[in-house]
Amino acid sequence: MENNIIVKELLKDYEKKHQKALTDLENRKQALYSKCPELLEIENRLHTLGISTAKFILGNNNSTHLTNLKNEIEKLKIERANLLKKLNIDENYLKPTYECNICNDTGYTYRELSNCYVFLFKTKTIRY
């Protein structure tokens, strides 16, 4: 197989792996939220506050208001952590599970091809 075809296939595999990790996470979240709607509420509020914070930083520099926003976000994160603890769920449950934690299944680290990618590429191109 030609090298550039291998490159394309590998990157497609990475894309699939990365997407699968995100889909799995979404499914886990939905299952969790239907069990504990309070968590969904917190998640939605965090999302809204995140947007407000971003807009605020761009818009002006009233630091008191920004501190309030950040405090609110911290409070919600603690609330979420407590809820998860009560449900006996690890916080990693709400993070994507990648096969490779270095490149998060993208094949890249800091804009360079990741080690796992280079390894996979070699296993496909070295002939014995």
**Does residue 56 contact residue 18 with C-beta atoms inside 8 Å?**
no
User: What's the min distance (Å) between Cβ of 74 and Zn ion?
Assistant: 32
Is 103 an interacting residue with respect to Zn ion (CB under 5 A)? yes
Instruction: Pick out residues in 35-54 that bind Zn ion (CB under 5 A).
Output: none
**Does residue 123 contact residue 35 with C-beta atoms inside 8 Å?**
no
Identified binder of Zn ion from the candidate list 20, 116, 121, 124, rule CB under 5 A = 116
Q: What are phi and psi of 102, to 5 degrees?
A: -85, -45
User: What's the min distance (Å) between Cβ of 87 and Zn ion?
Assistant: 31
- Cα angle 73, 85, 69 (rounded to 5 degrees) comes to 5
Structure tokens at 72: 């609110």
Is 114 an interacting residue with respect to Zn ion (CB under 5 A)? yes
Which stretch, 16-24, 34-42, 89-97, 98-106, contacts Zn ion (CB under 5 A)?
Answer: 98-106
User: What's the min distance (Å) between Cβ of 7 and Zn ion?
Assistant: 15
Structure tokens at 94: 């709400």
User: What's the min distance (Å) between Cβ of 9 and Zn ion?
Assistant: 16
